[in-house]
């Protein structure tokens, strides 16, 4: 099983907008884990975007242009990312359509979107958690519902994924997954 989170230069635009005008990834964290929440492998990288990170995004994530200045570009991490995804059957993301949408846009920029080894089962924890409060819960809200604790500072890829994995384990125990 994989859990993934991306930090980006902004929000996705409508689908018809050219992939080169969509937001770029600035940070990625993906882990493999089991139903007990044990992390068995990690893929983590800053990514140098082709455009500057807007100030508002830096305020939200804490990721600066200086932090990504010497990072690899997306295409430079592509092979390692493919290797990490290969053979996996389940993909979790808190907002699956966003994470897949951004990653798909990055892949389309290099005509690689149909070659990526997407896991067959893509599970959105926002949707899976709907029965908890009968509404969409932000990751921090879901984390508090599941663990009873406040989530550590969010909007960083690894912190968000590790919190999400705790939520996934708790949701499984509650029969939501």
Question: Is residue 121 predicted with pLDDT exceeding 90?
Answer: yes
Q: Which CATH class is domain 2-173?
A: alpha beta
Question: Is residue 14 predicted with pLDDT exceeding 90?
Answer: no
Q: pTM score, two decimals?
A: 0.94
Two structure tokens written together for 67:
């932090």
In this structure, the number of other CB atoms found within 10 A of the CB of residue 65 comes to 15
Q: For the segment 23-61, what is each residue's pLDDT rounded down to a tens digit?
A: 999 999 999 999 999 999 999 999 999 999 999 999 999
Average pLDDT estimate for 82-87: 98
Round to whole Å and give the CA distance between 106 and 109. 5
What was the pLDDT predicted at 16? Answer: 72
- % of the chain at pLDDT higher than 90: 90
Average pLDDT estimate for 17-28: 87
What was the pLDDT predicted at 36? Answer: 97
Phi, psi (deg, nearest 5) at residue 90? -125, 130
Q: For the segment 141-159, what is each residue's pLDDT rounded down to a tens digit?
A: 999 999 999 998 878 999 9
In this structure, the number of other CB atoms found within 10 A of the CB of residue 122 comes to 15
Round to whole Å and give the CA distance between 78 and 12. 20
What was the pLDDT predicted at 13? Answer: 82
Average pLDDT estimate for 162-176: 97
Cβ partners under 8 Å of residue 14, min gap 6: none
Torsion sign over Cα 34, 172, 8, 118: positive
Domain residue limits, the chain: 2-173
CB neighbour burial string for 9-36, b if at least 16 within 10 angstroms, e if fewer: bbeeeeeeeebeebbbbbbbbbbbbeee
């Amino acid at each position: 099983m994989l859990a993934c989170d991306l930090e980006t230069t902004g929000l996705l635009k409508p689908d018809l907008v050219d992939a080169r005008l969509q937001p770029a990834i600035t940070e990625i964290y993906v882990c493999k884990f089991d139903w007990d929440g044990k992390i068995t492998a990690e893929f983590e990288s800053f990514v140098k975007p082709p455009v500057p990170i807007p100030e508002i995004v830096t305020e939200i994530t804490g990721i600066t242009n200086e932090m990504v200045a010497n990072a690899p570009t997306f295409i430079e991490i592509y092979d390692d990312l493919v290797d990490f995804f290969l053979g996996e059957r389940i993909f979790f993301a808190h907002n699956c359509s966003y994470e897949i949408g951004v990653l798909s846009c990055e892949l389309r920029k290099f005509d690689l979107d149909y070659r990526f080894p997407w896991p067959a089962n893509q599970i959105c924890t926002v949707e899976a958690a709907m029965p908890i409060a009968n509404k969409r819960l932000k990751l921090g809200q879901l984390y508090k519902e599941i663990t009873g604790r406040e989530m550590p500072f969010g909007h960083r890829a690894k912190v968000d994924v590790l919190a999400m994995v705790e939520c996934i384990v708790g949701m499984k125990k509650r029969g939501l997954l």
